[in-house]
Amino acid sequence: MSRRLLIVDDEQSLLDFLKILFRDEGYEVITARSVADAREVLATTQPDLVLCDILMPDGNGLDLLREIKERDKAPPVLMMTAYTSTRSAIEAMKLGAYDYVSKPFDNDELKLLAEKALERADLEGENLYLKQELQERYTFSNIIGRSPKMQAVFSLIERAGRTSSTVLIHGESGTGKELIARALHYASPRSEHRFLSVNCGALPETLLESELFGHERGAFTGAVAAKKGLFLEATHGTLFLDEIGEMTPAMQVKLLRVLQERKVRKVGGTHEEDVDVRIIAATNQDLEARIADGSFREDLFYRINVIPIRLPPLRERIEDIPLLVGYFIEKYARQIDIPPKQVSAGALRMLERHDWPGNVRELENLVERCLALSTGGTIGLADLPEPLTLRRRNATPEVLLPAEGMDLEAYLDRVRERLMEEALARTDGVQTQAAELLGMTFRSFRYYAKKLGVKEDERPRDDETEPPTEPSDAQEAGTTKQATKQAKTKGS
């Protein structure tokens, strides 16, 4: 794709020469002999680069430069003049010109300068796009969750984001602590600056110290060049200290000193430098318990725990699972270029009953796997990994008789309700199949479904519309024995 170049100069011979010069390089060239002509061109055309003379018959090229830089997506501007003037050069650069050349100029040098100006414009445009994309991706409104606990987290992020206060995020592994940290950064006055992160448990103490504070050349074996360190790299921005509970006691002391004095000394250095950075820390540990056993400093805890945010595990926000599943299906369907798939009611109920020890990260991995491996247009129970369905199927909690006794019938009703819901989940809501799994008649299943409030996903058959009478214990036992015998006969 050719680049569009606007050349503004009152000398027609120079315009003709430059037009040929840049057309040979593949540019689409537009010329203007005055400031007024250039304004007409700019009113209807968006050039990629402008080459403009300073002294013009109807005005000053610097005035045109000002107008160009006020435009949205302003192109880079190269200024040129036959009169070398330091003052004009300084003013042009202050107004935003990419560079300044004096006539007569070297042709190759001018072409190289134009190329460099376009490369810089491309890079700035790409950086702006990526920055906008990051800001949109990590705004708290894009974090999935409608549960009351997540809504409370969003409210806290919105309020804390407007400040530069230190934040400590508590949450189990996989709950999205870094996602929340980034949302806090992009909601803050520091969003125009860098967000940097480090996992405090992933590096040994000596490397973590160098990573955070920097080092001087020759400070240790392998330090062949000086390094700034993340505290200085993130100046005016945000530094995210993930898994801060993994820090050694010695590193805790060094970090506390930096947080208190807002100064950092490089490893091997002799002088201190001021730091201006917001700290967001995260942990999956109980730091107060760590304080009690002496493995975490209490004074450091109070330094980082200015605004605490607790992320609920996925098992405490079950109502968010359908939203998360839908989001991950859309995400990975785009990545592997396939149409998004539906999830059956039974499969979704099974996901909602899983305890999710790996939290949102585990759910994301499972959805990606099911989307890639399922063959139909719907993800069903058969597409879920066997360990998940087996773990739920074999879950038989130990029951102890309380000292004060218990209501056995109520307890059995609760067990019956759970198993009936489980059977419905495994059969995608087909009651006849669910009843068969439990060794019950269809009539008995419908009776208990109505009595216990189990959700019915199948309409009753025409020949079974009359309400059944409650079966006696003997009838139920006989029916169960008969159904079991029939199931064995079918299996053989």
Q: If pLDDT is split at 50, 70 and 90, which confidence band does 490 have?
A: very low
- Whether 293 has a pLDDT exceeding 90, the answer reads yes
Q: Which of 287, 312, 337 marks a domain boundary? A: 312
**Confidence at residue 479, expressed as pLDDT on a 0 to 100 scale:** 42
465 or 81: which leads in pLDDT:
81
Whole domain around residue 225: which residue ranges? Answer: 140-312
Q: Over the stretch 26-50, which tens digit does the pLDDT of each residue have?
A: 898 999 999 999 999 998 888 999 9
The CATH number of the domain where 261 resides is what?
A: 3.40.50.300
The beta strand positions in 138-246, using DSSP E, are: 167-170, 195-199, 238-242
Q: What is the pTM for the complete model shown? A: 0.58
The structure tokens listed for 359 are 């939290």
Q: What is the pLDDT of residue 399?
A: 58
Q: Which CATH number fits the domain that encloses residue 65? A: 3.40.50.2300
CATH number of the domain enclosing 432: 1.10.10
- Of 97-106, 176-185, 381-390, 449-458, least confident by mean pLDDT is 449-458
The count of structural domains within the chain is 4
Give the pLDDT confidence of 310-324 residue by residue, as tens digits.
999 999 999 999 999
Q: With beta carbons less than 8 A apart as the criterion, state whether 424 and 458 touch.
A: no
| Band of pLDDT at residue 426, cut at 50, 70 and 90 | confident
Is residue 450 in some structural domain? Answer: yes
Q: Are residues 170 and 303 in the same domain?
A: yes
pLDDT at 463: 37
- My answer on whether 172 and 282 are in the same domain is yes
Range with the lowest mean pLDDT among 172-181, 188-197, 201-210, 381-390? 381-390
Say whether 76 sits in a helix, a strand or coil. Answer: coil
Give the Cβ contact number of residue 71 at 10 Å. Answer: 10
Compute CA distances 135 → 129, 192, 194, 288, whole Å.
10, 10, 12, 34
Predicted local confidence at residue 459, as pLDDT: 37
Least confident of 220-224, 236-240, 340-344, 486-490: 486-490
Is the domain of 369 the same as that of 346? yes
Percentage of the chain surpassing pLDDT 70?
Answer: 84
Q: pLDDT at residue 292 above 70?
A: yes
C-alpha closest to that of 171 among 246, 256, 259, 242: 242
Q: How far apart are CA 277 and CA 261, in angstroms?
A: 12
| pLDDT given for residue 131 in this prediction | 54
Q: Look at residue 362 in the predicted model and tell me its pLDDT.
A: 94
Tokens of 349: 């109920």
Average pLDDT score over the chain = 83
The closest alpha carbon to 266, from 278, 277, 276, 254, belongs to: 254
Residue 246, CA distances (Å) to 47, 196, 205, 283, 308 in order: 54, 18, 10, 8, 18
The reply to whether 274 and 336 lie within a common domain is no
Instruction: Assess whether 181 and 265 both reside in one domain.
Output: yes
pLDDT in tens, 149-165: 998 998 898 899 889 99
Alpha-helix residue ranges (DSSP H) falling in 29-106: 35-44, 61-69, 86-94
460 has a pLDDT exceeding 60: no
